[in-house]
């Protein structure tokens, strides 16, 4: 991911937020050819100094058939994003796109059965806990879950490089910056999210 210095972030908390709120990400590999699979990902912080990404994909997926311990993969997370119209500037310029993104390169470690079971427990809890009648992994019965697990390949991705990008019109003068916020606040949900992020940048004087 190309990141001009102006848009590069070292904020690990921002990285965690983007991963947490945009967990359905791309798992990209190039073992035999370039392959990409959308999959649910979680940041495992059991050891905060050695956090890693965990996910699973179908064993029927061609990508699963070639991945092995030590292979390099890329986890690509796209956060809030929205169109920025050039009509919002006080001068002639080009339209653009504001967005937040995280890319993590890492080495694959294949999960054993116990690790995959624990991963599925955590992942299910994350999303089921908000349901009116939640169904947790333990409610399904261990025999059933272990049978279903045979069709899944659990992966741990140990980070080797982390890139965090926050492109929020930092290159615009204050008048245009504020006008962009005003227009985004009247837009869709993603636009309002980006507006809030821009206001936070200004509040923290990080422009």
Q: Which residues of 125-134 are buried (b: 16+ CB within 10 A; e: fewer)?
A: eeeeeeeeee
CATH code of the region 5-172 = 2.30.110.10
Q: How far apart are CA 70 and CA 129, in angstroms?
A: 34
**What's the confidence (pLDDT) of residue 49?**
85
How far is 207 from 194, CA to CA, in rounded Å? 15
Q: What is the pLDDT of residues 46-75, one digit of tens each?
A: 988 899 999 999 999 999 999 999 999 999
Q: pLDDT of 125-179, one tens digit each?
A: 999 999 999 999 989 988 999 999 999 999 999 999 999 999 999 999 999 999 9
Average pLDDT of the residues in 13-24 = 96
Report pTM.
0.92
Measured N-to-C along each axis, helices 142-149 and 113-128 cross at an angle, to the nearest 10 degrees, of 110
Domain spans of the chain?
5-172
Is 206 a residue whose pLDDT tops 80? no
Among candidate residues 201, 191, 183, 197, the one with its CA nearest the CA of residue 97: 191
Rounded alpha-carbon distances, angstroms, from residue 128 to 95, 123, 187: 40, 9, 30
**3-class secondary structure, 109:** strand
Q: How far is residue 25's CA from residue 34's CA, in Å, rounded to a whole number?
A: 16
């Amino acid at each position: 991911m190309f990141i001009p210095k102006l848009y590069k972030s070292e904020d690990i908390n921002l990285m965690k937020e983007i991963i947490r709120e945009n967990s359905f990400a791309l798992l990209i590999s190039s073992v035999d050819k370039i392959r990409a699979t959308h999959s649910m990902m979680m940041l495992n912080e059991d050891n905060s100094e050695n956090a890693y990404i965990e996910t699973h994909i179908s064993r029927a997926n061609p990508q699963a058939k070639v991945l092995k311990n030590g292979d390099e993969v890329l986890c690509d997370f796209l956060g809030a994003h929205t169109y920025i119209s050039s009509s919002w500037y006080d001068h002639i310029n080009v339209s653009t796109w504001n967005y937040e993104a995280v890319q993590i390169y890492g080495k694959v470690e294949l999960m054993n059965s116990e690790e995959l079971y624990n991963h599925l427990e955590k992942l299910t809890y994350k999303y089921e806990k908000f349901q009116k009648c939640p169904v947790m992994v333990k409610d399904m019965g261990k025999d059933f879950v272990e049978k279903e697990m045979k069709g899944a390949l659990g992966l741990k991705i140990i980070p080797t490089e982390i890139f965090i990008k926050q492109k929020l019109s930092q290159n615009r003068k204050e008048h245009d910056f504020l006008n962009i916020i005003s227009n985004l606040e009247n837009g869709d949900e993603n636009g309002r999210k980006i507006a809030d992020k821009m206001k936070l940048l200004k509040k923290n004087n990080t422009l």
